[in-house]
Structure 1
Amino acid sequence: MTPAPAAGILEEAATHAGLDASTAIPLRTGAHAIYELDGGIIARIGKPGSADTARRELRISHWLNHSGIPTVQAVETLPQPVVVDSYPVTWWQLIPDHRPATPAELGTALAQLHILTPPTTFDLVEYQPFAGLEDRITTATTLTDDDRQWLTRHYVILRQRYEQLPPVTRASVIHGDAWQGNLVVPRSGTPTFLDLDKVSLGRPEWDLVQLAVDHTDFTRIDTDDYEAFVAAYGGYDMTAAPEFRVYADIQELRWTAFVISLSHHKPAARAEAAHRIACLRGHIPKPWQWNAL
Structure 2
Amino acid sequence: MTPTVALTRETAQNALNAACAAVGLDAAGAELIRIGSNAVYRLSEPVIVRIARNGESIENARMQVQVARWLSGEGYPATRALDVDQPVRSRGLVTTFWESASEREEYAPLDQVAELIRRLHSLDAPSSLHLPEIRPLAKLDAQIGDLANLDRADAQFLENRILSIRDQYERLEFDLTPGVIHGDANVGNVILDRAGQPILIDLDSFATGPREWDLVQTALFYERFGWHTEDEYRTFVKVYGYDIMTWPGYRVLADYREVAMTLWLCGKAGTDMQAAAEVRKRVESLRSGGSRHDWAPF
Residue aligning to 2:8? 2
Aligned residues of 2:123 and 2:180 also touching (Cα < 8 A): yes
Give the TM-score taking structure 2 as reference length.
Answer: 0.92
- Per-residue deviation, 1:115: 1.8
Residue aligning to 2:215? 208
- Per-residue deviation, 1:135: 4.4
2:138 is the alignment partner of 1:131? yes
Aligned residues of 1:50 and 1:86 also touching (Cα < 8 A): no
Residue aligning to 1:253? 259
Decide which of 180, 187, 192 is 1:180's aligned counterpart.
187
Residue aligning to 2:27? 21
- Per-residue deviation, 1:202: 1.1
Q: 1:67 and 1:34, CA in 2 relative to 1: closer, same or farther beyond 3 A?
A: same
Q: Deviations 1:20-60 (Å, cap 9, x if unpaired)? A: 21211111112211111122111111121211111110000
Residue aligning to 2:162? 155
Residue aligning to 1:190? 197
Q: 1:146 and 1:205, CA in 2 relative to 1: closer, same or farther beyond 3 A?
A: same
CA–CA separation in structure 2 for the residues paired with 1:151 and 1:141: 11
Residue aligning to 2:4? none
Residue aligning to 2:294? 289
Residue aligning to 1:85? 91
Residue aligning to 2:226? 219
- Per-residue deviation, 1:127: 0.9
2:149 is the alignment partner of 1:142? yes
The percent of aligned pairs where both chains have the same amino acid is 32
Aligned residues of 2:38 and 2:52 also touching (Cα < 8 A): yes
Higher helix share goes to which structure?
Answer: 2
CA–CA separation in structure 1 for the residues paired with 2:280 and 2:138: 21
CA–CA separation in structure 1 for the residues paired with 2:174 and 2:199: 31
Q: Deviations 1:118-173 (Å, cap 9, x if unpaired)? A: 22322110111123323433443321222222211111111110111126774221
CA–CA separation in structure 2 for the residues paired with 1:124 and 1:292: 29
The 10-residue stretch of structure 1 (163-172 or 99-108) with the greater mean CA deviation from structure 2: 163-172
Decide which of 247, 253, 270 is 2:276's aligned counterpart.
270
- Counterpart AA for 2:15: I
CA–CA separation in structure 2 for the residues paired with 1:19 and 1:256: 37
2:134 is the alignment partner of 1:119? no
Counterparts of 1:20-59 in structure 2, within 5 Å, are 20-48=26-54, 49-59=56-66
Aligned residues of 1:2 and 1:30 also touching (Cα < 8 A): no
CA–CA separation in structure 1 for the residues paired with 2:162 and 2:257: 11
SS for the counterpart of 1:188 is coil
The count of aligned residue pairs is 290
Aligned residues of 1:137 and 1:151 also touching (Cα < 8 A): no
Runs of 5+ in structure 1 lacking a partner? none
Runs of 5+ in structure 2 lacking a partner? 1-6
CA–CA separation in structure 1 for the residues paired with 2:294 and 2:146: 26
